[in-house]
Structure 1
Amino acid sequence: MFSRRRIVLNDFSKKQACDIMTKNFKKEKDRRSNEQY
């Protein structure tokens, strides 16, 4: 049970990292497109 909980926690942190990366990527994209205009 403990290991299973750990796996879930790991998946959760991975998802959070993906969300953060996606947000940063979008911010970067917005910044670049703003610079072009």
Structure 2
Amino acid sequence: MTGKLNTHDGRDLNIISPGDMNTKLSLLAKLTSSNHKV
């Protein structure tokens, strides 16, 4: 499975495998939660 996921800030994450995707999504969730401090 190969594809691209566009994040809200315009960066591209290359998705190689479902497991890798889950890792990147969890990392992205941590990054976005820390970035959305008001």
TM-score between the two structures when normalised by the length of structure 1: 0.53
- In percent, how many aligned pairs have the same letter? 4
Larger strand percent: 2
Q: Which has the larger radius of gyration?
A: 1
Point out where structure 2 has 5 or more consecutive residues left out of the alignment: 1-15
In the alignment, structure 1 segments of 5+ residues that lack a partner are 1-12
Runs of 4 or more consecutive aligned structure 1 residues displaced over 4 Å after TM superposition: none
* Matched residue count: 22
**Structure showing the higher helix proportion among its residues:** 1
Q: Considering only aligned residues, what root-mean-square deviation do their CA atoms show, in Å?
A: 0.7
Question: RCO greater where, 1 or 2, for CA within 8 Å and sep 6 or more?
Answer: 2
